[in-house]
C-alpha cells in the first residue's frame, strides 16, 4: 500500500495527469491541442530547447465542425498553457494590485491579446474582452505555501511557470504573423493570444488590510485571504528576456518587403474610413524587430493563473467574450474603392 502511494504521488507531481486532463477539456471546448510547444533559449551561453506544456488553437466563433469553422472563422485563437500539479496542502498566495487606476501596471487587453494589425479584419468594439479581464482580480507577486507538519514557503516554481510562458510568446507570435502575411488576404484573420498557468493549488489573494500584526493574530489563512478561481498576474520582463525577444525577431523587418505586407499596407491606405488609415503594420514590424519595451509589456507581461477546477469556467467565459467581440468585426476590403 505504501509503495502504491509513492508511485501515485510521483506520477501526479510530474503534472502529466493534470496536463492530460487539461488537454481533454480543451478538445471538448473545440480546441486543437499540440503538446510541448518548443522554443530555443540561451541558458548560460548555450542554446537549449524549452517547452510549454500545451499550445491550443481554435477558430472563433468556435463552430461545431471544422468545415463550418473554416468557412466563417473571424479570429485565430491561441492559448499557451503550462500545468503545475500541487497536493491539497499547497496553497498559492498572491499580493493584490494596490496602485490606483491611474498608476496601475495592469491594463485591460494585455492578458487576452488581440493582434489585428496583420489582417484586413478589424473589431470595432473590444469591450466584451476588456470587461471580462476587468472582472478578474489583479495580482503582481506570488509565493507557494506548503502546509502540514513541515510548512515551507518558496516561489521558484511559480516564477518558472510564468517564465516558460513568457519566453514562448515571441516565437509563437512571429510564426502567427508570418503565417498571416503569407496567406491570401481573404483568409487572413486577427490573432487572439492568452497565456495561462493552470494549477491544482488553491489561489488565495491576500486581503488588502493584511499587515504583519494581522498575520501574527490570524488563526488560519482563511482569515487573511480570499479564494479565487483565476487571477490576472503581472510579471515584467528583464534584459535577458529582451535579448531573447530580439534574437527571436532577428531579420523580422524583411517582412515589410514581402508581397503580402505590401498588399496589406496598400489596403489600409486606400480605405475610406480615416480611423483605419492609422493602422501601420510595417511600423509595428520595426518595433517588434528591435524589442521595443512598450510592446514587450503589451504582449509579454500579463498572464492568467487558473485553478484547474475552474478552467472550464474560464474557457467558456473567454469564448463568450470573443464571440461578442467578433460581432463588431469589419473587413477593410469592404471600404476600399473597387
- Percent of the chain's residues with pLDDT above 90: 66
pTM of the shown model: 0.92
Residues 6+ apart with CB under 8 A from 214: 224
- Predicted confidence at residue 43, as pLDDT, reads 77
Count CA within 13 A, CB hemisphere, residue 148: 10
145: nearest Cα among 226, 203, 104, 187? 203
Q: How many helices (H) and strands (E) does the chain have?
A: 12, 14
CA 107-109-112 angle, to 5 degrees, is: 125
What is the number of other CB atoms lying within 10 angstroms of the CB of residue 36? Answer: 12
Of the candidate ranges 78-82, 271-275, 316-320, the one whose mean pLDDT is the lowest: 271-275
Report how far Cα 140 is from the mean position of its chain's Cα atoms.
Answer: 15
- Predicted confidence at residue 275, as pLDDT, reads 53
DSSP-derived secondary structure for 115-127: E-TTSSEEES--H
- Predicted confidence at residue 65, as pLDDT, reads 52
- Cβ contact 22:314 at 8 Å: no
- Predicted confidence at residue 48, as pLDDT, reads 87
Alpha-carbon span 243 to 118, nearest angstrom: 24
Kindly state the cell numbers that stand for 315.
474557457
Indicate the average pLDDT of the chain: 89
Amino acid at each position: 500500500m505504501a509503495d502504491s502511494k509513492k508511485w501515485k504521488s510521483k506520477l501526479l507531481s510530474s503534472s502529466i495527469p493534470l496536463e492530460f486532463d487539461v488537454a481533454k477539456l480543451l478538445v471538448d471546448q473545440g480546441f486543437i491541442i499540440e503538446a510541448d510547444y518548443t522554443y530555443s533559449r540561451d541558458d548560460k551561453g548555450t542554446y537549449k530547447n524549452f517547452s510549454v506544456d500545451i499550445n491550443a488553437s481554435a477558430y472563433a466563433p468556435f463552430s461545431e465542425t471544422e468545415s463550418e469553422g473554416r468557412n466563417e472563422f473571424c479570429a485565430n485563437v491561441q492559448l499557451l498553457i503550462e500545468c503545475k500539479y500541487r497536493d491539497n496542502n499547497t496553497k498559492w498566495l498572491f499580493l493584490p494590485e494596490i496602485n490606483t487606476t491611474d498608476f496601475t501596471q495592469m491594463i485591460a487587453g494585455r492578458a487576452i491579446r488581440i493582434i489585428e494589425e496583420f489582417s484586413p479584419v478589424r473589431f470595432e468594439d473590444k469591450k466584451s474582452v476588456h470587461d471580462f479581464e476587468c472582472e478578474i482580480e489583479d495580482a503582481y507577486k506570488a509565493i507557494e505555501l506548503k502546509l502540514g507538519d513541515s510548512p515551507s514557503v518558496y516561489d521558484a516554481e511559480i516564477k518558472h511557470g510564468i517564465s516558460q510562458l513568457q519566453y514562448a510568446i515571441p516565437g509563437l507570435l512571429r510564426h502567427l504573423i508570418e503565417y498571416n502575411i503569407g496567406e491570401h488576404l481573404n483568409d487572413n484573420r486577427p490573432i487572439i493570444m492568452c497565456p495561462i498557468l493552470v494549477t491544482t493549488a488553491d489561489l488565495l489573494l491576500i486581503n488588502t488590510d493584511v499587515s504583519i500584526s494581522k498575520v501574527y493574530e490570524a488563526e488560519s489563512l482563511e482569515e487573511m485571504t480570499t479564494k479565487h478561481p483565476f487571477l490576472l498576474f503581472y510579471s515584467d520582463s528583464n534584459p535577458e528576456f529582451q535579448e531573447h525577444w530580439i534574437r527571436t525577431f532577428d531579420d523580422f523587418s524583411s517582412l515589410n518587403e514581402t508581397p503580402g505586407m505590401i498588399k496589406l499596407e496598400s489596403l489600409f491606405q486606400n480605405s475610406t474610413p480615416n480611423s483605419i488609415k492609422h493602422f501601420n503594420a510595417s511600423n509595428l514590424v520595426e518595433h517588434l524587430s528591435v524589442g521595443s519595451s512598450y510592446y514587450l509589456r503589451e504582449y509579454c507581461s500579463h498572464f492568467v493563473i487558473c485553478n484547474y477546477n475552474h478552467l472550464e469556467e474560464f474557457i467558456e467565459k473567454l469564448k463568450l467574450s470573443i464571440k461578442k467581440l467578433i460581432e463588431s468585426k469589419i473587413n477593410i476590403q469592404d471600404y476600399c474603392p473597387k
